């Protein structure tokens, strides 16, 4: 069965600093990977998705993620954090076909001035 592990329940950065949120996956077949963001009192929104077309995936709001099969990782990065990036971020995986996603436990990003 596929699963994802997000390292760090909380990550704190200063405004303007690099954002790195970690996600490792396990899957018996080539996976489809996603990052979702959740702002306070809202549902989840798609940031980006990997579907094997390219290993470096660019998403909304300046975020990107790189699929590394050798490391079974799909880490999310942003060169310069903004206060508005403060939110909870979820990595998710599906093995394809019917899109029953499996979510990680989430990482809360805190951005300080």
Q: Which residues bind another protein (CB under 8 A)?
A: 9, 32, 34, 36, 41-46, 49, 51, 90, 94, 96-101, 103-106
The span from the CA of 103 to the CA of 68, in Å, is 19
C-beta of 103: minimal distance to another protein in Å?
Answer: 4
C-beta of 27: minimal distance to another protein in Å?
Answer: 13
Q: Output 9 or 80, the one with its CB closest to another protein.
A: 9
Task: Note whether 105 and 4 are within 8 A (CB).
Answer: no
Task: Note whether 44 and 56 are within 8 A (CB).
Answer: no
Q: Output 20 or 46, the one with its CB closest to another protein.
A: 46
C-beta of 39: minimal distance to another protein in Å?
Answer: 10
45: Cα within 13 Å, side-chain hemisphere: 12
């Amino acid at each position: 069965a596929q699963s994802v592990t997000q390292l760090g329940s909380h990550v704190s950065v200063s405004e303007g600093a690099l954002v790195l949120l970690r996600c490792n996956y396990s899957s018996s077949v080539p996976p489809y990977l996603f990052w979702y963001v959740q702002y306070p009192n809202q549902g989840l929104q798609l940031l980006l998705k990997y579907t094997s077309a390219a290993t470096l995936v660019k998403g909304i709001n300046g975020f990107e993620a790189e699929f590394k099969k050798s490391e079974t990782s799909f880490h999310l990065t942003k060169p310069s954090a903004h206060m508005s990036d403060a939110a909870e971020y979820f990595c998710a995986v599906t093995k394809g076909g019917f899109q029953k996603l499996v979510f990680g436990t989430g990482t809360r990003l805190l951005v300080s001035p």
